């Protein structure tokens, strides 16, 4: 396994983690209050950012 392949796997896992965390926060808004929405939104933004980065890895 090359270093680039390992990097892509780690980035894909990070995307999955942040997206799953965002869904989990949305499902627990009643317990977490308004800050749960903030954490969920930030997690979605991080997930999208990692997705853009992941797509750019193949082009370089």
Q: What is the pLDDT of residues 12-46, one digit of tens each?
A: 999 999 999 999 999 999 988 899 999 999 999 99
- How many Cβ atoms from other residues are within 10 Å of residue 19's Cβ? 17
Q: What is the pTM of this model?
A: 0.87
Asked whether residue 5 carries a pLDDT value surpassing 80, the answer given is yes
State the DSSP code for 32.
H
Supply the pLDDT for residue 60: 58
CA dist 44 and 48 (Å) reads 6
- pLDDT-based confidence at 58, cuts 50/70/90? confident
């Amino acid at each position: 396994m090359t270093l680039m392949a390992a990097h892509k796997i780690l980035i894909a896992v990070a995307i999955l983690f942040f997206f799953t965390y965002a869904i989990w926060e949305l499902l627990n808004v009643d317990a977490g209050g308004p800050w749960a929405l903030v954490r969920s939104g930030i997690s979605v933004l991080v997930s999208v950012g990692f997705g853009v980065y992941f797509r750019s890895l193949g082009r370089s």
